[in-house]
């Protein structure tokens, strides 16, 4: 880590540790509130919503090595505000779009007044058409992450047979949302679109749009993996602390070797996953030809490791971990849902097999 990355990490760690209270988070999630406005404003004030954009665009130009650190902390502190989706995924697509689109949309992403998200990958996406001089987008997107919280949706679309990316104002007429609370304390939505677009809402088309499919979902995969490393570390730390305090049979649970070895295994899994995520972030930043393979490996590794680590965390805590009030089960729930984002593990491994270099 260089100094800038270290500073970013330290300040984020301090803020989240001192302010991101788990009980308050839960209370808000239980009321169906998608984001904590106070936190959201502070995230903006700390520059997180601008971190990945270039300095010309008004951002700070951080690469994935730094962003990954922040994602890891989000995982550790169970941050549920869709900051990563908005600034780092949807924002990535907008920043690659037309100058007009950038000028009208990026400032709102950076100042937090707009909160954008992207859907699960789709083969074609909604359909774009032109009629009577109006550009219309029509279609349905299901299980949009934080779709119930977002103000905007950045989505792949098809323009005839050509791929495109568009941004849709989710408050516009002709947009319907079926919003639901998800098990990780967020507001997802099924989104049905039949609405008009401005010229500046067409972000990318043709080959650029096709390329963005790969880029943005690879980034999504890696951010999810980084978040997973933080979540696993959180689950492990809680388990270690808890087993030291909890007395049974006249001694702390942590004195039992059967449990010590299982916690050692949790640590092994966390560290292996961390090594791959760090290497993948560096590879993406350095445009290495190993970037995609490492990203796929990192996501697949985190998925399997997180299952094991978060399940073990619950098992070793015992009954307390099955309550919604206690923190550790929330790592389990978040990781269970991240397993399929943006693709399921089997698809990730299939892509790994197709993409790896032949062994000679």
Partner 1 sequence: MWASEQKPIEDGTPAEVTVDSHEAFRDSVRTFLGQALTPELKRAGELTTSVFSDFEAALKWHKILHAQGWVAADWPEEYGGPGWDIHQRYIFQEECKLANAPSLVMMGIQMLGPMLMHYGTEEQKNHYLPRMLSGEDIWCQGYSEPGAGSDLASLKTTAVRDGDDYVVSGTKIWTSMAHHANQIFCLVRTDKTVKPQAGISFLLVDLQSPGITITPIVSLDGQVEQCQVFFDDVRVPVANLVGEENDGWSVAKFLLEFERGGHNFTIDVKKQLRKIHHQAQQTPWQDGSRAEDPVFQHRLAEAEIDAMALEQTELRIKGAVATGGNPGALSSLVKVVGTELGQRLNELAMDLAGPAAGPMNLEALNPGFDGDTCVPEHALTTMAEYINNRASTIYGGTAEIQRSIIAKKVLGL
Which residues contact partner 1 (rule: CB under 8 A)? 1, 13, 17, 73, 76, 230, 233-234, 237, 240-241, 243-244, 254-255, 257, 260-261, 263-265, 267-268, 271-273, 275-276, 278-279, 282, 294, 297, 300-301, 304, 346, 349-350, 352-353, 356, 359-360
Residue 272 C-beta: closest distance to partner 1, Å: 4
From 109, 119, 108, 111, select the one nearest 148 (Cα to Cα): 119
Residue 76 C-beta: closest distance to partner 1, Å: 5
Question: Closer to partner 1 at the Cβ: 181 or 255?
Answer: 255
Query: CB-side exposure of 263: number of CA atoms within 13 Å?
Result: 21
Question: Closer to partner 1 at the Cβ: 103 or 251?
Answer: 251
Residue 44 C-beta: closest distance to partner 1, Å: 22
Residue 84 C-beta: closest distance to partner 1, Å: 18
Residue 306 C-beta: closest distance to partner 1, Å: 14
Question: Closer to partner 1 at the Cβ: 175 or 267?
Answer: 267
Question: Closer to partner 1 at the Cβ: 194 or 282?
Answer: 282
Question: Closer to partner 1 at the Cβ: 154 or 231?
Answer: 231
- Token pair 């990192």: residue: 298
Residue 2 C-beta: closest distance to partner 1, Å: 10
Residues 6+ apart with CB under 8 A from 85: 116, 117, 118, 145, 146, 150
Q: How many CB atoms lie within 10 A of CB 217?
A: 19
Residue 347 C-beta: closest distance to partner 1, Å: 12
Question: Closer to partner 1 at the Cβ: 193 or 348?
Answer: 348
Question: Closer to partner 1 at the Cβ: 143 or 256?
Answer: 256
């Amino acid at each position: 880590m260089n100094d800038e990355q270290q500073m970013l990490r330290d300040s984020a760690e301090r803020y989240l540790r001192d302010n991101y209270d788990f009980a308050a988070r839960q209370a808000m999630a239980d009321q169906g509130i998608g984001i904590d406005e106070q936190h959201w404003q502070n995230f903006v004030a700390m520059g997180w919503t601008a971190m990945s954009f270039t300095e010309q665009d008004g951002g700070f130009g951080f690469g994935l090595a730094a962003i990954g650190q922040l994602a890891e902390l989000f995982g550790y502190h169970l941050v549920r505000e869709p900051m990563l989706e908005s600034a780092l995924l949807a924002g990535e697509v907008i920043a690659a779009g037309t100058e007009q689109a950038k000028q009208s949309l990026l400032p709102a992403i950076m100042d937090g007044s707009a909160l954008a998200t992207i859907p699960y990958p789709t083969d074609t996406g909604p359909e774009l058409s032109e009629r009577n001089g109006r550009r219309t987008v029509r279609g349905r997107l299901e299980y949009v992450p934080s779709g119930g919280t977002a103000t905007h949706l950045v989505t792949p679309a098809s323009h005839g047979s050509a791929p495109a990316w568009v941004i849709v104002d989710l408050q516009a007429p002709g947009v319907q949302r079926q919003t639901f609370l998800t098990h990780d304390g967020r507001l997802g939505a099924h989104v049905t679109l039949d609405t008009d677009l401005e010229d500046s809402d067409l972000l990318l088309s043709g080959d650029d749009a096709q390329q963005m499919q790969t880029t943005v979902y690879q980034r999504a995969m890696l951010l999810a993996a980084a978040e997973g490393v933080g979540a696993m570390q959180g689950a492990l730390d809680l388990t270690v602390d808890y087993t030291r305090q909890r007395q049974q049979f006249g001694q702390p649970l942590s004195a039992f070797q059967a449990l010590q070895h299982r916690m050692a295994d949790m640590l092994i899994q966390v560290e292996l996953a961390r090594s791959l995520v760090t290497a993948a972030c560096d590879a993406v930043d350095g445009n290495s030809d190993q970037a995609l393979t490492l990203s796929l490996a990192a996501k697949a590794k985190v998925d399997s490791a997180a299952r094991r680590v978060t399940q073990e965390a619950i098992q070793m805590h015992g009954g307390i971990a099955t309550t919604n009030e206690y923190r550790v089960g929330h790592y389990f729930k978040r990781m269970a849902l991240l397993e399929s984002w943006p693709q399921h593990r089997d698809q990730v491994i299939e892509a790994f097999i197709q993409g790896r270099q032949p062994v000679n």
